[in-house]
Structure 1
């Protein structure tokens, strides 16, 4: 893409690829959401419809429908003067949403320990092993995907529809930040340990323990994200001295 800013990414993050055939707009939504989460389309970047259509091999109709969906999710902002651009969250918004998400996941953990089935626990353990395998081969995209599936399964096991809808809404806006929090190997190692403790709490049906682990897990991610943003903000000034 010639005029669309693209953030630097680890080697394991895929570049944009042309869709193999025309698909429904919900598939385009998935592609664009994935690009936003992984930073291929960076926060604040204006979307160039012509170039996106050429890159994905689609017409403007499904692209515009997808943009409307992502705007409703808060991932894209549409302005009459500027057009559509990837949402750029203020640090205060990131702080508050991670704080809220930590509470949502903590509550989901308590409920999950009461309602989860042995089969669901076994599935979460399998996802954990797959996540660890991705960590060992430095597959960041795969690692993040399994990581998110684990959190999603715990939330689903809470079996509370109102909680579920709120969780999905907030999590969509935080996914790009959660993805970035895994860039450092030491942070991934710490997250793996947290997930091992989550599984132990699920197996013992210790809702209070799982709740505490999940809350701190999310607050730790928040701290990593905020430090990363602060460092990025200060780096240009430091480099110019």
Structure 2
């Protein structure tokens, strides 16, 4: 972890601590497999051990942490098979969400998504990956909300929580990041055209590209270790 600190407000401490830890995991401040030092994190977040441990339990329920008996908590490290399986299911879920969203989207929804797309592209131009990814998450969450299927939405959120860090790091390659921005632009266009088949296909291809980028990154890391 880096040396920065960011104390959190005293209200809703476990939820706030969980969100801070989730951000650290997504943005690489806590690496896959890292064991969490309670004392250090208490100081860094400005909380006591009780809300911190509750935050650990929340993130363990989301699949981001694993709690080991008598050994504390550590960040989950996904295997290539975990990644492959997860992204295959995510692609199917996002494709279905796209089709449903086309049937239920309003003009106001499209205007909101276009505004978010503009914000995301501004972050991309400024090379601000954390801001870009936060807006990216909002766009995908908004598409799922427009789809209006509670079962799909819950399944999506549960699985996507485990993949957020990998999706974030897939944009560290500039060419792939540029490609992702262009794909998002095409998604909004397909939604505005009420073309469900096109949006489904775009979302599935987008997730498959993410899967390939993540697996290639994992292979490179393995090669460096070897």
Q: Fold conserved (TM > 0.5)?
A: yes
- Asked if 2 retains the 8 angstrom alpha-carbon contact of 1:97 and 1:174, the reply is yes
1:168 to 150, 157, 161: 157
Deviation, structure 1 residue 192: 1.1
Instruction: Give the aligned partner of residue 34 of structure 2.
Output: 45
Instruction: Give the aligned partner of residue 117 of structure 1.
Output: 106
Q: Which aligned pairs between 1:90-105 and structure 2 lie closer than 5 A? A: 90-105=79-94
| Off by >3 Å, runs of 4+ in structure 1 | none
1:121-144, CA deviations, whole angstroms, 9 ceiling, x for partnerless residues?
111100101111011111010111
Measure, in 2, the Cα distance between the counterparts of 1:18 and 1:150. Answer: 26
1:130 to 112, 116, 119: 119
Deviation, structure 1 residue 118: 0.7
Instruction: Give the aligned partner of residue 231 of structure 1.
Output: 220
Alignment RMSD, CA only?
1.2
Q: Which aligned pairs between 1:77-226 and structure 2 lie closer than 5 A? A: 77-226=66-215
Flag the 1:16–1:218 CA change in 2: closer, same or farther, 3 A: farther
- Asked if 1 retains the 8 angstrom alpha-carbon contact of 2:18 and 2:56, the reply is yes
Instruction: Give the aligned partner of residue 29 of structure 1.
Output: 18
- Asked if 1 retains the 8 angstrom alpha-carbon contact of 2:8 and 2:17, the reply is no
Aligned length: 225
Deviation, structure 1 residue 23: 3.5
Instruction: Give the aligned partner of residue 5 of structure 2.
Output: 17
Deviation, structure 1 residue 18: 2.7
Flag the 1:198–1:82 CA change in 2: closer, same or farther, 3 A: same
Structure 2 unaligned blocks of 5 or more = none
1:87-114, CA deviations, whole angstroms, 9 ceiling, x for partnerless residues?
1111100110000000000000000000
- Asked if 1 retains the 8 angstrom alpha-carbon contact of 2:62 and 2:162, the reply is yes
Instruction: Give the aligned partner of residue 3 of structure 1.
Output: none
Task: Tell whether 2:64 aligns with 1:75.
Answer: yes
- Structure with a larger share of its residues in helix: 2
- Asked if 1 retains the 8 angstrom alpha-carbon contact of 2:8 and 2:16, the reply is no
